[in-house]
């Protein structure tokens, strides 16, 4: 049984026919995922970013929940390689999101990963109300994340390859 406290995760990958230097600026644009995700709407820097330790507010919408926003912190940033942020308290995050970028031939391998927990999140009240359905709740949420993440990496790929703007 997959429990929220186990830190369930998901990831998607895509090959981009563009060098990391062309993909990188797209990964650091906190508003870009809002063009592709059905949930994430936009981001707004609280501090000067992107930079390690910089905070931003993410604005989201889900038809079953409505609208909400979360404070995020850039927790890893290595130019042309890694852009990672955590949601909520850095020491007890509700989620971690990460782009990894590697040279691959004349292009790039782009991986987008996310991990739930270990801190409380929007899933916590649902799991507390229906502990017998925890596995199904977590699995459904991971499925939603994966779908939006796939849309995001495909959108990044199209932009980096010059097929979208």
Range 127-133 average pLDDT: 94
Q: Domain limits of the chain?
A: 4-160
Is pLDDT above 60 for 165?
A: no
Architecture per CATH, domain 4-160, reads as 2-Layer Sandwich (3.30)
Specify the pLDDT at position 98.
Answer: 98
Q: How far, CA to CA in Å, does 8 sit from each of 33, 96, 106, 107?
A: 22, 11, 33, 30
At 8-66, the pLDDT tens digits run 999 999 999 999 999 999 999 999 999 999 999 999 999 999 999 999 999 999 998 89
Range 123-152 average pLDDT: 95
Is pLDDT above 70 for 139?
A: yes
Model pTM?
Answer: 0.94
At 72-127, the pLDDT tens digits run 999 999 999 999 999 999 999 999 999 999 999 999 999 999 999 999 998 999 99
The per-residue DSSP string of the chain comes to: ---GGG--EEEEEEEESS-HHHHHHHHT-TTGGGGT-SSEEEEEESSS-SSTT-EEEEEEEETTTEEEEEEEEEEEEETTTEEEEEES-GGG-SEEEEEEEEEETTEEEEEEEEEE-SS--THHHHHHH-GGGHHHHHHHHHHHHHHHHHHHHHHHHHHHTTS--
In which band, very low, low, confident or very high, does the pLDDT at 148 lie, cut at 50, 70 and 90?
very high
Specify the pLDDT at position 163.
Answer: 62
């Amino acid at each position: 049984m997959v429990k929220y406290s186990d830190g369930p995760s998901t990831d998607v990958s895509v090959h981009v026919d563009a060098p990391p230097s062309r993909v990188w600026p797209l990964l650091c644009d906190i508003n870009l995922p809002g063009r592709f995700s059905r949930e994430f709407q936009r981001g707004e820097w609280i501090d000067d970013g992107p930079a390690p330790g910089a905070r931003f507010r993410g604005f989201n919408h889900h038809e079953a929940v409505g609208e909400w926003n979360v404070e995020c912190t850039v927790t890893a940033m290595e130019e042309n390689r890694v852009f990672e942020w955590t949601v909520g308290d850095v020491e007890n995050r509700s989620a971690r999101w990460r782009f990894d970028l590697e040279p691959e031939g004349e292009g790039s391998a782009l991986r987008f990963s996310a991990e739930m927990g270990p801190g409380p999140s929007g899933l916590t009240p649902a799991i507390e109300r229906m502990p017998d359905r925890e596995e199904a709740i977590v699995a459904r949420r991971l499925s939603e994340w994966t779908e939006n993440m796939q849309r995001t990496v495909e959108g990044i790929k199209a932009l980096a390859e010059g097929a979208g703007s």
